[in-house]
Amino acid sequence: MFLVSNDMTATLPARSSLRLVAGTGERVAVRCTEGELWLIRDGDPKDTALTASECVTLSDAGHIDLYAITAASLHVTRCKPATTPVGGAWRHRLWRWLAPDNHRYTGVGR
């Protein structure tokens, strides 16, 4: 499961760039909301072009360069893995609380 760590919205003038750094295990989703973007990833021979309302999700660590072909607006969502399984902690506490050994009901009159 992935948890959102932060979101970012930016507007880039034409022929400008922005560099994102993705950490190990982190997913980065880039949505072009206006204009045209060119997405360049380190070590990837294939570049990606995004126009308004297109989105790409990257799941590899590394640098991501976003180059604005025209004036462009974008929204970046970073997701990172949860440190503990979501729901696992409360299930464990509930199990310990409900375990028969914890509630030694002896009954009245014993």
pLDDT tens for the chain, residues 1 to 110: 334 457 889 899 999 999 888 888 888 899 999 999 999 988 888 889 999 999 998 877 788 889 999 999 999 988 876 655 555 666 666 666 676 655 555 555 54
Residue 100: its pLDDT value, please?
A: 61
Residue 91: its pLDDT value, please?
A: 66
Residue 3: its pLDDT value, please?
A: 41
Residue 65 contacts residue 19 (beta carbons within 8 Å): yes
Query: What are the DSSP E strand ranges found in the chain?
Result: 2-12, 17-22, 27-34, 36-41, 48-51, 54-58, 62-68, 72-81
- CA dihedral over 23, 27, 31, 35, signed as positive or negative: positive
Domain spans of the chain? 2-101
Coil, helix or strand at residue 97: helix
Architecture per CATH, domain 2-101, reads as Sandwich (2.60)
